[in-house]
Homo-oligomer: A and B are copies of this chain.
Amino acid sequence: MEKSLTELEGAVLSEIHHRGKATAFAVRRAFQVSPSVEWSGSAGAVYPAIKRLTSNGLIRSETQNTARKTSHLSLTPLGIALLDDWVADIGRAVGVGLDPFRLRSGLWAHLPTERRQTAFLALRDALVSQIAEAEAYHATLDAVEQRRTELAMILQRARLQWVERELSAQ
């Protein structure tokens, strides 16, 4: 009876199983380049996580017989079952998450007037350019990352609307 998967462990398993990432390095790279996932893809997080999951029987790791000591990763039946449980964990999925924008939203009103105005304008610009960037890259992504990017765009558009309402309400 193990405790349930952490968010990073679930993300690692899904990179291997649903996005075809065959090595620890490829998983790291995916985290590093994804704008819709928040981990840095640090070696000190990914390698220990894969080690844990391997020794718990969720990941099958086949070391290649090449000079470059790469391991080919895949999920065991147990790994697939626990990944499905993690994916279908409704309670976690509907959690609001750690959102730096929401956390600050009630505090901008308390900034000195000029600084507040500047902040809202900067927020608007940053959101607009992030949305444009996401739209540009969207077509180049696989199905999983496309969905995530869609939701990231929905979030950024909602924030943008909120900011514009605040700006016009001044």
Give me the interface of A with B, judged by CB distance under 8 Å: 7, 10-11, 14, 18, 35-38, 84, 87-112, 115, 118-119, 122-123, 126-127, 130, 143-148, 150-152, 154-156, 158-159, 162
Contacts and interface: CB of A to CB of B under 8 A. Distances in A.
20 contacts: A10-B103, A36-B102, A38-B96, A38-B98, A87-B110, A88-B118, A88-B119, A93-B104, A94-B101, A94-B123, A94-B130, A95-B101, A96-B155, A98-B98, A99-B99, A105-B147, A105-B151, A106-B147, A109-B143, A150-B162
A96 B98 CA distance: 9
Contacts of A11: 103
A127 B35 CA distance: 25
Contacts of A98: 7, 38, 97-98
Chain A interface, >50% SS class: helix
A111 B88 contact: yes
A152 B106 CA distance: 12
Contacts of A10: 103-104
Contacts of A94: 100-101, 123, 126-127, 130, 156, 159
A148 B109 CA distance: 12
